[in-house]
Structure formats: structure tokens, C-alpha cells
Amino acid sequence: MPDTAPIIYRVTPARPAAHVFAVELIIADPGPEPVTLSLPAWIPGSYMIRDFARNIVSIAAERAGAPVTLTKLDKQTWQAPAGDGALVVRWEVYAWELTVRSAHLDRSHGYFNGPSLFLRVHGRDHEPCRVELLPPPDPACGDWSLATSLARDGAERWSFGSYRADDYADLIDHPVEMGRFDVIAYKVRDVPHWMAVSGRHRADLTRIAADLAPICEEHAALFGELPADRYLFLTQVVGDGYGGLEHRFSSSLLCSRDDLPAQALDTTAKPEDTQAQGDYRKFLGLCSHEYFHLWNVKRIRPAAFLDGGLEREVHTRLLWAFEGITSYYDDLALVRSRRIDAKGYLELLAETITKVLRNPGRLRQSVAESSFDAWTKFYKQDENAPNAIVSYYGKGALTALALDLSIRRDTDGRRCLDDVMRALWERYGERPGRAGAGVPERGIEALAAEVTGLDLGDFFAQALDGTDDLDLPGLLATVGVEMRLRPATGPKDFGNVAETFKPIEPVGDVGLRLAPGSEAKVAVVLDGRPALQAGLAAGDVIIAVDGLRVDGQSAGKRLRGLPIGRAVAVHAFRRDELMTFQLTPAPAPADVCELRLIDDAPAAVLERRRAWLASVAAS
């Protein structure tokens, strides 16, 4: 792009120690009308009003060196009067939120998402612009590199310099990481892929690359094409953290140090021969999830998102599909790409089922309602959330599972959810040279019926708009998997896979969850359970159970060990008042999922299971 670019953005990590980015906007030809500028209130992929403008600490404008008055119109919008000559606007952004959604800057690294920094020029959303990313002036940051999926416009790879964006939507869809990081590279269908790993770590980067390539290929094979000419994972490693956010040519990840595989002591072992386990399996699932969004959300989008904006909430009932179906395929791709085996996949599935069943809110809110109310309920959870809401991620993933297994059963294996996703891509997907069409609110339901030839009205009525539990035991049996529910043995019991099911022993339960910490502070009281009936409430600090002192370490174990049906005294502080409660433990609910592979199932059932878990890329 020539130097006469009509719109130029310039970003400098000006004061890393103060966590301040300096941003400059140059509009070469503002036109004869007043210029209106605004910062988004939310970032695509994270459905909560974040009011990024609150982090702007100063803003000023000038023309030909003379100050121009900016009038603030609302919380995120400014207007400059009409005038002759280029308009230059400068502002500073405070960046001290270490998440995948906002901006963070210190002397160790810098990171930002476009919506948190780039003012939109109203009326010129569709114009290309140049983006100059400048190095920090701080000598302590003199060896920094830069990673972004923005198209380079003169900048060397991994370097500060000049980049370009096709329009404002493109501008804000490429997060930027700057600092010291390691890079791994691999290809999927001849398309270059990278991961920039920031933060202190001792990860086996070769292993990560070897595992990511087949996972990405699995998703590309499912949709039949890879509609990107480059892809970048930006991974920030911290002591304790987890999260991801999708973008059109990249994704931002936040993970704990222990989530990454340690460098192998046996250097002769082949990475692909080792099954992913534990926290590393969770990390690969996160990568898989965000990569699936390359299609589902970023190029197949709800119609509501095409018509809405970033100034206010945009409601849709479709998040069950765009996040839930993605959550189904993220783990399924791990077993299909042979990063985990069938048992490992069922362990992940049992955990998802358990997390959904653990919360009474699933019986109050449908998954479609959860989608629509994400802005005010799912993303703004309080102590009563487990009693009031259901996750459109978890329940959405189980809905996708139930839909997939229902289609496989009722078409005798001739159709499956893969076919629906391919049809969704063909009809609504955005490709180079073809604008995508927004998915109507009931579009996925209609397309699923069209593709499969099945009457799915009753299924969707229950799964999407109802609150009854899905018939997962019956559906899993059609692929040779037995499911049963049992009481939890502790707060970290999220289910398991067993060779045989052992007899279930009665377990006492009081129906509360404690917050982590040194004191026994109640975080959640579950509806209809003994703690609520006794009068305990979130925020209470339990100091004694049955006459014995407890703290944050001992309270949970003491409460779980109480005999069923015998009332005991519980002493707790509510604010600064000491209160006594009579608590009578009841049998724990059967809300933990156990799964078992039925290897002696009929041949047709075993074939259905094989097809369900089989690689799409290898077929």
C-alpha cells in the first residue's frame, strides 16, 4: 500500500512499565462532514459488553499542527468537526488485562486485540488501511519480535513494521503479540501454520507441532477445504490460566505451564507414538476448538451477527451450535486424528456429561435460552448461576452428540452430523471470492432435516427448547457404549471410563460448594439440597461442623463424611454475625457419568462406533 494510504493506524508500546499503548490514526482525506470515531463495546467471539473505551486514558486531535476539539457523544464515541486537511487523532490505552480478549503490556511482552485499541472511522468501514506496528522505545525491550496474522506490507516476518488490512473488520480480527517467543511451524494442505509461544516454559515444541498438524488436517478434511492462506496460534503461557478466542487467520490461547508437554528424556521416542494425556490433552482440545472456529463462527455465521454491530449486544439463539457443535468436534478430532484413543475420548465425554448434570440450572434454562441470554447470564455468572443457567458450550456439545448419534442410528449410518456441517459450509460459508450468507435462527434445524431426510422436529424441540435431559444412555448404546450415573466421590470427581461397573455405595451430600482459600467460604448453595434447606448461603464462612473446627482445607472432607439423615450443627459467620444451622445430609444425587466400551456388542453396533470415531482425513 503506498504512503498515500487514506487511513493509517500507528501503534507503539510507548510505556511498557506503565502498561500504556500509544495509538495514532491519520485520515488523509476526512471529507466535508464531521468525523465520528468509536471503539467497540465487545469483541467477536466473547459475548459480553466490555466497554473497551474505558481504558482510553487520553485522546486528542489536530489538523496541520493545530488542535482540533473532540466532542464525546457517548461512552465510546467521539466526533471531530469538519475541516480542511488530514485529521490526526492520538490516544493512549491502558493495557493490563492478561486475557485473550483485551490488551496487556509490560516489560516482558505486549499483546492486544484490535477492538481494544483501534477506533472505527464511521462511514469508512470498508476502506483498506495501513497498520504500522512500531517497536517499544524502552531499551529493556530492544530485542522484541512481533507475531500477528495481519498481512505484511513491507514488514519482515516476526518483525515490527508495516502491515495492511482490507477493512475495519479485518483490522480488528488479527491479535498482535510482541516480545520474546518461540515459534513452531508446520503445514496443512500446503498452507503454512505457526504457533508463537510466549512466556516461560520448557515445552516440547516438536511434539506440539507433530500433534497439531493431524488435528488441523482432520478439521480441513471434514469441511473439504481450508479457506485460509496462513494460520497462527498465539499462545501465552502462564502459571495458571486457560482460555481461547478465535479469529479468521489466527487464534489466541492462554494456557498453564503444566498444560504443555515436557521435553522427552527419551529422544528416540516418536511423538506420534505417544497418546496425549491429562492437561496436555486439554491443551490440544483448546487448539482444536479454536481451529474449528476457522469455519464455524468466522466464516459460517449467524445472520444476526451480519446485521448487528459491536456497539451493543447482538442476540442469537444459535450459540448452542456455533460453540456447542465446535465443543463436540474439538475432542472428537483428537480421537479421529489418533492423538488419543477411544478410552481417552470417552473420559473427556464423561467429564462433559458430568459437568452439565452437576448443575440444577439445566432443568430451568434451555440451551437456546442460554445462547440468547449469554450477554447477561452466561458471561455474568453469580453465586446462583449453577441453579439458574446451563452452558451452551457443554449442553450444546451434548446436543451435537445426540444429534450425530440420532442421525447415524436413524439412517443406518448413511448420514451423520459431518454431512450437515459440510452442507452448512456449502450453503452459508464465506470463501475467497464468495460472500457468506448468514445462518437463519432456525436454519441449522431445517438444513439437518433436509440433508438427512429425517423428521427432526421432536428432537430439536426437546434438545433446544426443552429442559429435560437428553437420552444419552440410549443413544450411546447404539455405538456400543454403556452409560450409568453414580454419586460423586468428591468435588473433583468428573466421571470415568471403567472396564466393569462396580456396585454403587450410598454417599452423603449437603449440596454446597466451597471457594478455594484458607477459610471455608461457601461459594454455591445448590437448589433443593440440604445446605439450602438448612439456611446456609453463598458468602457464609463455616468455622465448625458438628462441634469441630474446620478451615478451607478440612471443611469439604468433614462435610462429605457426615452420616446420611443425622442432623448436625454447623457454625458459620455471615458477614460479622455468628450463626448456627442444623444440617441434615441426604444421599448424594447420581450426577457423575461413568462410561464403558461394550466390545461384545453386535457387529452393526461396533461398525457404527468405528465410523463415528474414524478419521475423516484418512477416508
Would you state the pLDDT for residue 432? Answer: 82
- Compute the half-sphere exposure of residue 396: CA atoms within 13 Å on the CB side of its CA: 23
125 is a domain residue: yes
Would you state the pLDDT for residue 311? Answer: 95
487 is a domain residue: no
Residue 549 and residue 460 share a domain: no
Would you state the pLDDT for residue 435? Answer: 83
- pLDDT beyond 90 at 421: yes
Q: Calculate the CA 372 to chain-centre distance.
A: 17
Place of cell 477445504: 225
pLDDT (mean) for 435-451 = 95
Domain that holds residue 254: 183-262+276-477
Question: CA 249 to CA 269: how far, in whole Å?
Answer: 33
- pLDDT beyond 50 at 468: yes
Residue 368 and residue 312 share a domain: yes
- pLDDT beyond 50 at 272: no
CATH assignment at residue 581: 2.30.42.10
Residue 258 and residue 214 share a domain: yes
Would you state the pLDDT for residue 2? Answer: 41
Residue 359 and residue 407 share a domain: yes
Would you state the pLDDT for residue 269? Answer: 54
14 is a domain residue: yes
Residue 566 and residue 445 share a domain: no
Would you state the pLDDT for residue 434? Answer: 82
Which of the listed residues 460, 477, 494 is the one where a domain comes to its end? 477
State the total domains in the chain: 3
In which region does residue 354 sit, left (phi positive, over 0), alpha (psi from -120 to 50) or beta (all else)? alpha
Asked if 195 contacts 187 with a C-beta cutoff of 8 angstroms, the reply is no
Chain length of the chain: 619
Would you state the pLDDT for residue 267? Answer: 54
Q: What is the pLDDT of residues 83-100, one digit of tens each?
A: 999 999 999 999 999 999
pLDDT (mean) for 255-279 = 76
Question: CA 316 to CA 319: how far, in whole Å?
Answer: 7
Tell me phi and psi for residue 61, to 5 degrees.
-140, 160
Grid coordinates belonging to 402: 445426540
502 is a domain residue: no
pLDDT (mean) for 496-512 = 93
Asked if 403 contacts 417 with a C-beta cutoff of 8 angstroms, the reply is yes
Residue 419 and residue 528 share a domain: no
560 is a domain residue: yes
Would you state the pLDDT for residue 424? Answer: 98
Would you state the pLDDT for residue 274? Answer: 62
Would you state the pLDDT for residue 355? Answer: 98
Q: What residues have CB less than 8 Å from 357, skipping those under 6 apart?
A: 469, 485, 591, 592, 593
Q: What is the pLDDT of residues 592-619, one digit of tens each?
A: 999 999 999 999 999 999 999 999 999 8
CATH assignment at residue 210: 1.10.390.10
| Cα dihedral 22→28→34→35 (10° resolution) | -40
- pLDDT beyond 80 at 271: no
Average predicted confidence (pLDDT) for the chain: 96
Q: What are the distances in angstroms from CA 320 to CA 25, 316, 373, 433?
A: 38, 10, 12, 29
pLDDT (mean) for 46-57 = 98
Residue 204 and residue 103 share a domain: no
Question: CA 10 to CA 161: how far, in whole Å?
Answer: 10
Asked if 261 contacts 208 with a C-beta cutoff of 8 angstroms, the reply is yes
Which of the listed residues 477, 496, 519 is the one where a domain comes to its end? 477
Q: Which amino acid makes up residue 539?
A: G
Residue 370 and residue 225 share a domain: yes
Q: What is the pLDDT of residues 96-125, one digit of tens each?
A: 999 999 999 999 999 999 999 999 999 999
Grid coordinates belonging to 172: 480488528
280 is a domain residue: yes
The per-residue DSSP string of 435-449 comes to PPPPBPTTHHHHHHH
Question: CA 360 to CA 364: how far, in whole Å?
Answer: 7
Residue 331 and residue 256 share a domain: yes
166 is a domain residue: yes
Would you state the pLDDT for residue 268? Answer: 57
Residue 221 and residue 99 share a domain: no
Tell me phi and psi for residue 312, to 5 degrees.
-150, 175
- pLDDT beyond 80 at 3: no
- pLDDT beyond 60 at 332: yes
Beta bridge partners of 165: 129
513 is a domain residue: yes
Would you state the pLDDT for residue 478? Answer: 98
Name the pLDDT band for 290 (thresholds 50, 70, 90).
very high
Would you state the pLDDT for residue 264? Answer: 72
3-state secondary structure 63-119: ECCEEECCEEEECCEEEECCCCCCEEEEEEEECECCCCCCEEECCCEEEECHHHCCC
- pLDDT beyond 70 at 430: yes
Name the pLDDT band for 277 (thresholds 50, 70, 90).
confident
Kind of pairing between the strands at 496-497 and 481-486? unpaired
Reduced to 3 states, what is the DSSP secondary structure of residue 287?
helix
Residue 323 and residue 359 share a domain: yes
Residue 465 and residue 369 share a domain: yes
